[in-house]
Amino acid sequence: MVVAIFIIGLSLGSFVNALVWRLHEKKDWIKARSQCVNCHHELAAIDLIPIISWIILRGRCRYCQKPISIQYPIVELITAVLFLLSYIYWPVALNGWHIAVFIFWLAALTGLIALAVYDLRWMLLPTRLIYVLMVFGLIMAIINIVGSTNRLGVSLGYLEGALIGGGIFYIIFQISKGKWIGGGDVRLGFLLGLLASTALRSFLLIFIASIIGTIVSIVLMSVSKLKRTSLIPFGPFLIISIVIVQLAGADIIKLYTRVLLGN
């Protein structure tokens, strides 16, 4: 099973690379044929094996010899590793309707990785993709609500999570008149707040993302790649954070209350 999950992750990582490019080129998400971004030669199956093709071709296009970005194998590997971690650290036993939630999580995760890559490259979060992921998030919420014994409580949790996730960014967006964060971050906040599934986890999401963002900014500033005024996309930090919240949120909250309240 572990090997199967890893291979599925590699394939979907390959899909992420294609999706990011197709979103940017405004091509059909699924149907468009894969082609070299430089010479536009259509790629054969042998050129499309995750990681392996890149290594065999020594990072160059078979047809035009132009280098292929290292982004491709890295994204494939990251996706596979996150799929594997999701499987190993999934917070509940994978049986019954939990399997359906898990599958939609993997689908959402694939889209989130595409959003992160897109944001890193172009400082934009494609709205259409966020809306598709909101549908995945809603389906996960509905399955969890229906499967729960406390349907009202779980529903309210999702509502609060989404309102806090989106609300905080909406306020920052309004105060800064769109200078500090973009409208895409507000939509992403709603989406991730929904995935966070409770108010507390939504706060945790933003808290962890801020810590990661601060650390990365300090590191980048100290190696002087970044000026104090440079903009860095916040989306990727939020996306890393939601993975942590999804897989370890319950443990973090438990630890926090134990340390703080001594129980």
Closest CB to Zn ion among residues 47, 119: 47
Q: Is 250 in the site for Zn ion (CB under 5 A)?
A: no
Closest CB to Zn ion among residues 52, 64: 64
Which residues does residue 35 pair with via DSSP β-bridges, in sequence order? Answer: 42
Pick the binder of Zn ion from 2, 4, 32, 39 (CB under 5 A). 39
Instruction: Compute the distance between CA of residue 214 and CA of residue 163 in angstroms, rounded to an integer.
Output: 24
DSSP 3-state assignment of 60?
Answer: strand
197-236 residues near Zn ion, rule: CB under 5 A:
none
Q: Is 36 in the site for Zn ion (CB under 5 A)?
A: yes
Q: Least distance in Å: CB of 67 to Zn ion? A: 10
Among 19-27, 39-47, 68-76, 216-224, which window interacts with Zn ion (CB under 5 A)? 39-47
Closest CB to Zn ion among residues 39, 146: 39
Q: Is 90 in the site for Zn ion (CB under 5 A)?
A: no
Q: Is 38 in the site for Zn ion (CB under 5 A)?
A: yes
Per DSSP, helices labelled H in 90-175 are 97-122, 127-147, 151-175
Instruction: Compute the distance between CA of residue 250 and CA of residue 48 in angstroms, rounded to an integer.
Output: 38
For Zn ion, how many residues bind (rule: CB under 5 A)? 6
Chain mean position to CA 230: 23
Closest CB to Zn ion among residues 36, 120: 36
Which tokens hold the place of 176? 């800064």
Q: Least distance in Å: CB of 63 to Zn ion? A: 5
Closest CB to Zn ion among residues 66, 254: 66
Q: What angle do CA 120, 130, 76 make, to 5 degrees?
A: 50
Closest CB to Zn ion among residues 12, 61: 61
Closest CB to Zn ion among residues 37, 244: 37
Cα 195 to Cα 85, 171, 178, 232, 238: the distances in Å are 17, 20, 24, 24, 12
Q: Is 135 in the site for Zn ion (CB under 5 A)?
A: no
User: x/- binding map, residues 47-66, to Zn ion, per CB under 5 A?
Assistant: --------------x-xx--
The 3 state secondary structure assigned to 203-236 is HHHHHHHHHHHHHHHHHHHHCCCCCCCCCCCCHH
Q: Name the nearest CA neighbour of 252 among 242, 157, 150, 237.
A: 242
Q: Least distance in Å: CB of 39 to Zn ion? A: 3
Interface residues toward Zn ion, by CB under 5 A: 36, 38-39, 61, 63-64
